[in-house]
Amino acid sequence: MKYLITIVGPTAIGKTSLSIKLANYYKCEIVSCDSRQFFKEMAIGTAVPNPEELASAPHHFIQNKSIFDNYTVGDFEKEALAKIEELFKKNDYVVLVGGSGLYVDAILKGFDDFPAIDSAVREKVNSNYENEGIEFLQQQLETLDPVYFQKITSENPETLQNPQRMMRFVEVCLGTGKPYSSFLNQKKNNRNFTPIIIGLEADREIIYNRINQRVDIMINDGLLEEAKALYPHKDLNALQTVGYRELFCYFDGEFTLPFAIEEIKKNTRRFSKRQLTWFKRKENTQWFDYLADQNKIISHINKQIHNS
């Protein structure tokens, strides 16, 4: 039996520390599924584990891509599953850690199959985005698939600002003549491992204070300079994320620096709230307070292994 020990929870809750503790205890390796930490140009603003943490246990999918790479969640699913299968050949355990719910789901249960889309449809959708903007795609999706539009509006609203994903939703609707949502949850993908899911949580005020402190540390560590170096590429999909968008607005003269920093904190707090909403829906997750004795968490995992 192979076990994928999965650690989820909101940003700044302590997932990295716990993942290293578990990797050392089970003498295994860590697969990151934080979609912001894939990109090597974005170290400070994505809270990549520091050199000491990275040296404490073998990590995979940390700063392994460039912002110039077209890297999708489907690409990650294929690459990560191949890596996990490789790691299972030498150990019965792998630790999966990250706050990107969509990427966690990609590994635990996979994605639905979609028909191939004619390239002419894809080109038309891309052209519409370039000429009309993302608002046009939003209106199209609301018309073509109102059910899915309402779902992401309420559960994951930042998706509405993601051009790559919005174009994908619309091209599937136009290319098949069916709503995007009709292709979801069609079949179960088989996995050759047993997931043991651990969630970390804290009172909202504690989470928010930790986020505020982390943003201040990022600014002190040079986030402003990192964002300035990336500013010429601000329209890339990888950079449409909290911590960079706000500073790009500062460079554009739309925000003052203090206001931009407060916006980073506010938007990160909102993001953490959505993370918790996503992960709380996940069945079979055992939640622990972020200050819980890590040995208590190990005892729970060992009990799950023994009973499986």
CA 146/CA 182 separation, integer angstroms: 12
Q: Which residue ranges make up the annotated binding site?
A: 9-16
Q: How far is CA 13 from CA 18, 77, 152, 251, 275, in A?
A: 10, 25, 25, 30, 11
DSSP track, the chain: --EEEEEE--TTSSHHHHHHHHHHHTT--EEE--TTTTBTT-STTTTPPPHHHHHHS-EESSS-B-TTS---HHHHHHHHHHHHHHHHTT-SEEEEE-S-HHHHHHHHT---------HHHHHHHHHHHHHH-HHHHHHHHHHH-HHHHHHHHHH-GGGGG-HHHHHHHHHHHHHHSS-GGGGTT-SPPP-SSEEEEEEEE--HHHHHHHHHHHHHHHHHHTHHHHHHHHGGGTTSGGG-STTTHHHHHHHTTSS-HHHHHHHHHHHHHHHHHHHHHHHHT-TTEEEEETTS-HHHHHHHHHHHHHH-
Q: Which residue ranges make up the annotated binding site for substrate?
A: 11-16
Which tokens go with 171? 């091209």
Residue whose structure tokens are 């390796």: 29
Contact 23, 99 (CB under 8 A): no
Q: Which residue ranges make up the annotated binding site for ATP?
A: 9-16
